[in-house]
Amino acid sequence: RARLARTHFRSGAVHAAPASSGVAGGQKTIDDLGGPSFLTTLNWLFVKGFLPKMQQMQVEQRKIYGPLWKSKYGPLTVVNVASADLIEQVLRQEGRHPVRTDMPHWRRYRELRNQAHGPLTEMGAKWLRIRSILNPRMLKPKHVSSYASTINQVVTDFIQRVLWLGAQAGGGVMVHDVAGELYKFAFEGICSVLFENRMGCLNEEVPEETQKFIFSVGEMFRLSPLVVLFPKYMWPYLPFWKQFVQAWDYLFKVAEELVHKKMEEIQNKVDLQQSVEGAYLTHLLLSEKMSVTEILGSITELLLAGVDTTSNTISWSLYQLAQNPDVQERLYQEVSAVCPGDQLPNSDHIAQMPYLKAVIRETLRLYPVVPGNARVTVDNEIMVGDYLFPKQTLFHLCHYCVSHDESVFLNSHAFQPERWLRGTEEKSKQHPFGSVPFGFGVRACLGRRVAELEMYLLLSRLIRRFEVRPDPAGTEVKPITRTLLCPAKPINLQFLDRGAGQT
């Protein structure tokens, strides 16, 4: 405890913890932290109207309570952390088996239906085992780069869909609800990688099953924060618990159908004594390191995590590029120089596009996919700031608040990708925990590399093919929180085809 209390992670310097009121010996504890009561939190959410904009509630409450405060959220006591230094301290003390939160509502569904936990819901040594099996094909560059041709096929289909949508809308340029269209792209892309299977999301007529899957993901994320407001014993009696369970039922149904379809394909090849080759799911099934039930639990969660992340980020990127034509032109020049004509980009090309990566990085700073992340201290009591917290403390890391903090990012509300370029003064001064969109450490986002590859390939090809302009109606789109950060209204954009003669 003494060692933790005296280590300052940001500078590496050593400081004695200041004395205070708290427990014997003057140490501050969670009891000394200020913050709103449960009734006050309900007032913020439902009377002041912050339920759909909980990311902004972080900003407003930090002004009142400072960078560290506690709040009651239903049966939970949450310690909110809203400074880059303090977030770093929490994450650097997370132990061997870090826990985001026990995800009680997600875990309860799996118990109800006897489904296995996956990388988002499993904990402890069991979680570490799953991650060690799933990691290589998701995070190793040589495996991830092999998905480029598969993703490029989906990008080609999406470009054709953009052209078709523009023609349908009249004038040949307007695409309505870009986020909705990109959701279909992301679902198609992640299914192509995970299941080695095309779902028809980018057809002129999208299959009903796919539309229902997209709706179910949205419902599950929308209802999640409502369910956890109530204690577990009340869940079966809540009117929206049934909807929550139905949403999960459909997600597992779709994943189960895809897993069994792949198993049949493999078995048919074995029966015919043909060699069995494939990517992600084939590898998991053939390795026999996980049971089919475990594979289903993991694949469902990977599928879930791989759709909103990509679609929302590219939606916001295109929205900002339309608002900032100078940034868009610079990106176009870079992409055209590295990958001219109709040449398809691959991982090697992407490595030569630092501005493309900076555009995505800046988008993720302004619109972090998860506006607030959670950590539960499992192994030890830890020191954060001047406070000593016991084991099992639930921390809420306020990423949105920190990434919009003027003391961390100058002109924090401006879209400035150049702040991420190496060699710039701002980049050299940046706090490494000012924006951590994919998390940190062993519990960092499993699908990060695949999501980045999808976003780089899609955005580079879209900007090379189209000039993107704002909605002529001049509609401003702000974010809302639906567990994840989403556009509050449809993003409508104009896509002007640059590509006379391009395929």
As annotated, the binding site for heme includes 445
Binding-site residue ranges:
445
Rounded Cα distance, 31 and 24, in Å: 13
CB 129 within 8 A of CB 119: no
Q: Which two tokens stand for residue 404?
A: 């919009």
Rounded Cα distance, 293 and 408, in Å: 44
Q: Identify any residues that bridge with 493 across adjacent strands, giving them in sequence order.
A: 175
Alpha-helical regions (H) of 6-91? 38-42, 54-65, 84-91
Amino acid identity of 487? P
Rounded Cα distance, 202 and 147, in Å: 19
> Angle of helix 208-227 relative to helix 104-113, nearest 10 degrees?
120
Residue with tokens 């306020």: 398
CB 97 within 8 A of CB 123: yes
CA-based nearest residue to 120, from 300, 288, 246: 300
Do strands 373-376 and 394-397 pair parallel, antiparallel, or not at all (unpaired)?
antiparallel
Amino acid identity of 174? M
449 CB-contact burial (10 Å; exposed 0-12 / middle 13-18 / buried 19+)? buried
CB 435 within 8 A of CB 118: no
